[in-house]
Amino acid sequence: MIQHTTSLEPAGRPTPRLDTDRREVQVLNMDSDPYQLASKASDQLIDIYDGRIPSTFVVLGSGWDVAIEHMGTTVEEFSADTLIGAIGSTVPGHSSSIRLIDTEDGHILVARGRVHLYEGHDPSQVVHVLRAAIGSGPKNVILTNAAGSTDPERGPGTPVLIADHLNLTGLSPMWGTIPPDGAAARFVDMTEAYSQRLLNVAREADATLTEGVYAGFHGPEFETPAEITMAKTIGATLVGMSTVLETIAARHCGAEVLGLSLVTNFAAGMSGPLAHSDVVETAARSGQIVGPLLADIARRVNRAADSN
Ligand code: HPA
C-alpha cells in the first residue's frame, strides 16, 4: 500500500490527487504505457501550475537540498507519489516532494529526491516524474547527485559539472514501449547529452567549476576497487547510482540537460571503506556551500529560457 503524505498540502488550493484504490491501478507496472501515464501526470502538474508554468525542472540529489532555501518562494508543494503513476523513494535521506518555486527569474519546478533503480524499480519508473515534468512545460533540466570521485585532486565537498556520462547500468528508460511519436522517436542522439549552452551558463555563475565524466552504476552496492579501476580507465571521473537514465529520458523528451555532482567521497579503493551514512553526512555539510551555487545556476538557466 502506498502511503500519501498529507502534511505537504499547499496552503491554498488542494493538490489534485487520486483516491487510493484508483491510484494503485495507475502506478506504473510492466503492462502500463509509461508515456501515456507520464502524459496524464503532466496534465495533473499543469493543473497545479494554474498558469505559473516553470521553464526549468531541477532534481535535487543528496546534498543539494539547501538550494531550495535560496531559489525563491515556494508556491506549491506536494508529495511526489501523489502524481499519477509515481512512487515514493525508500532511501533514507531522499525525501520525495515536488515544489513549484516563484523566483526573481520565473517559476522553477523542483523535485526533492528521486527514485533509483536499486530500489527495485524499472527504468520507466525511475524517469516517470522527469517525463511528467518535461511534458508539463520545462525544457531545461538540472540533474544533481552525490558521487564518488576517481580523481585524487577532487575530493569530498567539490561540485563538478557533468560533461558526459557512461551508462553502466545496462538499462535504458527507452527500452520497451514504442514512444507515441512512432518510429522517429525510437532512437535518440546522445552526442550532446549534457548541454554546452547550459554548461556555459553554469560557468558564468562560477568560473572555477570543473568538468567530469559521470559513470552511472546500478547499485546499491558501492563499487569494488576493480570496478573503479575499470571506470577510471574508460574515462570516468565520477561514479554514482543515478542520473544517467534521467538524462537519456530528458534528451528523448527534447529537453536540455545540465548535470552537477557533489563529490561526497573518494571512490572505492582510494581511501577507507565506504558507508552511505558518511555520504549523507558529507553531503549535508557541503550542502551549505553548493546549495546557494545551485540556486544561482538554476535562476540563470531559467532567466535564459524565459528571455528566449
Ligand atoms: N559510488 C556510487 N555512488 C555514490 C558514491 C560512490 O562512491 N558516492 C555517492 N554516491
Query: pLDDT digits over 125-157, tens only?
Result: 999 999 999 999 999 999 999 999 999 999 999
**Which residue range is the domain that position 65 belongs to?**
22-307
Identify whether 207 is part of a domain.
yes
Q: DSSP characters for 242-271?
A: SSHHHHHHHHHTT-EEEEEEEEEEEPTTSS
pLDDT at 277 (0 to 100): 86
Residue 3 domain-assigned (yes or no): no
Q: Point out the residues of the chain with pLDDT beneath 50.
A: 1-25, 30
Which residue among 223, 228, 281, 286 is best mutated to probe the pocket of ligand 1, counting the most ligand atoms within 8 A of its Cβ?
223
Choosing from 77, 223, 227, 246, the catalytic residue is 223
Residue 162, strand partner residues: 212, 259
Are 161 and 170 in contact by the 8 Å Cβ rule? The answer is: no
Q: How much is the pLDDT for 22?
A: 41
Pick from 145, 79, 77, 62: nearest CA to 108 = 77
9 in active site: no
Q: Ligand 1: which residues within 6 Å by Cβ? A: 146-148, 217, 222-223, 239-241, 264-265, 267, 274, 279
Residue corresponding to grid cell 573518494: 266
CATH number assigned to the domain comprising residue 217: 3.40.50.1580
Helix axes 128-135 and 244-252, enclosed angle (nearest 10): 30
User: Interior CA angle at 138 toward 25 and 36, to 5°?
Assistant: 25
Residue 7 inside a domain? The answer is: no
Q: pTM here?
A: 0.89
Report if residue 1 sits inside a domain. Answer: no
Spell out the alpha helix ranges (H) of 27-172: 34-49, 67-71, 123-126, 128-135
Please check whether residue 231 lies inside any domain of the structure. Answer: yes
Amino acid found at 38? A
Nearest-CA residue for atom 9 of ligand 1: 147
Domains in the chain: how many in total?
1
DSSP 183-216: GGGSS---TTSS-HHHHHHHHHH-TT-EEEEEEE
Residue having the nearest C-alpha atom to atom 2 of ligand 1? 240
Cα 229 versus chain centre, distance: 26
Which tens digits make up the pLDDT trace of 13-24? 344 443 434 444
**Composition of the chain by helix, strand, coil, percent to 5:** 35, 20, 45
Q: Would 250 be classed as within a structural domain?
A: yes
Other CB atoms closer than 10 Å to residue 221's CB: what's the count? Answer: 12
Q: Does residue 10 sit within a domain?
A: no
User: Could you tell me which residues are beta bridge partners of residue 141?
Assistant: 57, 257
Distance 90 CA to ligand 1 centre (A): 17
Inside any domain, residue 11 = no
Q: How far is CA 132 from CA 3, 137, 139, 272, in A?
A: 21, 9, 12, 40
